[in-house]
Amino acid sequence: MTATQLLVTAPGIRNRARRRWTWKEVVFHLAVIAILVVILYPVAWMILSTFKPSAEILGNAELLPREVTLANYEKALGGIGGVSFWSFFQNSTILAVLSVIGTVLSSALAAYAFARVDFPGRTAFFGIMIATLLLPFHVVIIPQYIVFNALGMVNTFTPLLLGKFLATEAFFVFLMVQFMRGLPRELDEAARIDGAGHYRTFAAIMLPLLKPALVTSAIFTFIGSWNDFFGPLLYLKDPDLYTLPIALRLFVDQSSGSDYGAQMAMAVLALIPVFLFFLIFQRYLVDGVATQGLKG
Partner 1 sequence: MTADTLTPPVTTPAEPPIPQAAPARRNRRKWEDIRAGYVFLAPWLVGFLLLTAGPMVASLYLAFTDYNLFTAPEWVGFDNFIRLWNDPDYLKAWQVTGVYVLVGTPLKLASALGVALILNAIFRGSGFYRSAFYLPSLVGASVSIAVVWKAMFIDHGPVDSVQQILGFPAGGWVGDPEKTMPMLILLAMWQFGGPMVIFLAGLKQVPQELYEAASVDGAGPIRKFGAITIPMLSPVIFFNLLLETINAFQVFASAYIISGGTGGPARSTLFYTLYLYFRGFRDFQMGYASAMAWVLVLVIAVVTVIFFRSSKLWVHYAGDEGR
Partner 2 sequence: MTSRAFKNRTHRGAMIAASILAAGSLAILTGCARGSAEPAATADPDEEVTLNFAWWGDASRAERYEAAIDLYEEKNPNVTIQTSFAGFGDYWTARNTEAASRTLPDVFQMDLAYLAEYGGFQHVLALDDYLGEAISTDGIEESLVQSGAVDGKIYGLASSSSTLANFYNEPLLSQLGVDVPEGQITWDEYDRLLADVTAAGAASSPVVYGSLDYSQYFWLFQIWLGQQGLSFIEDGELGFDEADLAKWWSKSNELQAAGSVMPPERQAQLEGVDALGAAEIAADTSWANFLARFSEGPAAPELTLAMPPYDEAGNTGMFLKPGLMLSIAANSEHPAHAADFIDFLVNAPEVGAIFGMSRGVPASSTAADGIEANELDEKILAFQDEAAQHLDGTAPPAVRGFGTLEQTFVAISQDVAYGASSPEEAAARWFAEAEVVLG
Please name which of 138, 135, 149 lies closest in space to residue 235, comparing C-alpha atoms. Answer: 149
Q: Which is nearer to partner 2, 152 or 293 (CB)?
A: 152
Task: Please tell me whether residue 193 binds partner 1 under the rule CB under 8 A.
Answer: no
In whole angstroms, the minimum distance from the beta carbon of 95 to partner 1 comes to: 15
Could you say which of partner 2, partner 1, none residue 94 binds, taking C-beta under 5 to 8 angstroms by partner kind? none
Residue 77 interacts with partner 2 (CB under 8 A)?
no
Q: Are 215 and 285 in contact (CB under 8 A)?
A: yes
Binding to partner 1 (CB under 8 A): which residues in 136-175? 136, 138-140, 142-144, 147, 162-163, 165-168, 171, 173-175
Site for partner 2 in 31-70 (CB under 8 A): 55-56, 58-59
Binding to partner 2, residues 162-191 (CB under 8 A): none
**Ranges within 229-258 binding partner 2 (CB under 8 A):** 229, 233-234, 237-239, 246, 249-258
Does the protein bind partner 1 through residue 60 (CB under 8 A)?
Answer: yes
CA angle 258, 261, 264 (to 5 degrees): 105
What distance in Å separates the CA atoms of residue 31 and residue 52, rounded to the nearest whole number? Answer: 31
- Cβ–Cβ < 8 Å for 172, 220: yes
Q: Which is nearer to partner 2, 112 or 242 (CB)?
A: 242
Degrees, nearest 5: CA angle 249-254-259: 55
User: Taking CB under 8 A as the rule, does residue 4 contact partner 1?
Assistant: yes
When CB distances are held under 5 to 8 angstroms depending on the partner's kind, the choice from partner 1, partner 2, none that residue 238 binds is partner 2
Can you tell me whether residue 80 is helix, strand or coil? strand
Phi, psi of 185 (to 5 degrees): -65, -20
Nearer to partner 2, 213 or 250 (CB): 250
Q: Cβ(116)–Cβ(181) under 8 Å? A: no
Stretch that binds partner 1, among 66-74, 79-87, 89-97, 210-218 (CB under 8 A): 210-218
Please name which of 136, 295, 103, 111 lies closest in space to residue 218, comparing C-alpha atoms. 103
State yes or no: residue 275 binds partner 1 (CB under 8 A): yes
Amino acid at the residue 83: V
Q: What amino acid occupies position 245?
A: P
Choice from 66, 119, 194, 255 touching partner 1 (CB under 8 A): 119
51 binds, among partner 1, partner 2, none (CB under 5 to 8 A by kind): none
Supply the DSSP string of 239-272, one letter for each residue. GGG--HHHHHHHT--TTS---HHHHHHHHHHHHH
Q: Restricting to residues 108-147, which ones interact with partner 2 according to CB under 8 A?
A: 141-143, 145-147
